Amino acid sequence: MSQTASPKSAESAADPGRIESAIQDWSSDQRAFKNVPWGKAMMWLFLLSDTFIFSIFLISYMTVRMSTKVAWPNTSQVFALEIGGVQFPLLLIAIMTFILISSSGTMAMAVKFGYSKNRKITAILMLVTALFGLSFVGMQAFEWTKLIHEGVRPWSNPFGAPQFGSIFFMITGFHGFHVSIGVIFLFIVARKVWRGDYDTGKRGFFTSRRGNYEHVEMMGLYWHFVDLVWVFIFAFFYLW
């Protein structure tokens, strides 16, 4: 006995519109990322993974601080800067924060002029951003030196809870490492921009398509991320 397909199933199998719609749904991800440079997509993935790492650090800090039985040091006193015999609470940290936020503005302008293909202004703004970053790292080195001189160690702390030293050096050190790496790459990319490598499409490291300044935008993404992370560190570690 022969069996015949129902009219509804036959209509579904013969409807080319539904097949085309299904193909478009499956290929939607390719359409969404078709014009995104590979390097930019990888930078977003790297920043996402780094977000998890910094989040774990800050959550660990909050857990340790709330669970310790020993009094946590008063950050306003620990990080006070003495000038002329007068203590200024968190003055150095405030200056560091101002410098890093200002560098985010110069980096944003560098990306803007990069889109306009104004290579000299772009390179200058990237160099200014790198100098801001160097100033930040230098002040952080001074802060570390001051606390080490006062007896703060990863395993001990004369101001209170011994966990303070390990948390401080871990979080600020990891962030300072990110800033230092960013400064190095800012100098490298700024040099290539100044020489016009992105206009001529010169082959080598950190190159892109001819006339495309996508590496400047990638540096902008990284630098804004570093600045944003510092805002959270400043709020949770220094102000809390």
Nearest to 111 by CA among 222, 216, 204: 216
- Mean pLDDT lowest among 17-21, 79-83, 184-188, 202-206: 202-206
Per-residue pLDDT tens digits for 108-139:
999 999 989 899 999 999 999 999 999 999 99
Q: What is the pLDDT of residue 10?
A: 46
Q: Which spans in the chain are helix H?
A: 7-14, 16-26, 28-32, 38-67, 75-78, 91-115, 119-149, 163-195, 197-200, 214-233
The whole-angstrom separation of Cα 107 and Cα 117 is 15
Per-residue pLDDT tens digits for 163-201:
999 999 999 999 999 999 999 999 999 999 998 888 776
| CATH number, position 151 | 1.20.120.80
Total number of domains constituting the chain: 1
Specify if 13 maps to a domain: no
Specify if 29 maps to a domain: no
Specify if 22 maps to a domain: no
214 pLDDT above the threshold of 90: no
Nearest to 224 by CA among 46, 92, 59, 47: 47
| pTM score | 0.82
Specify if 25 maps to a domain: no
39 pLDDT above the threshold of 50: yes
Q: What is the pLDDT of residue 203?
A: 66
Q: What is the mean pLDDT of residues 137-156?
A: 94
**What is the domain extent for residue 195?**
37-238
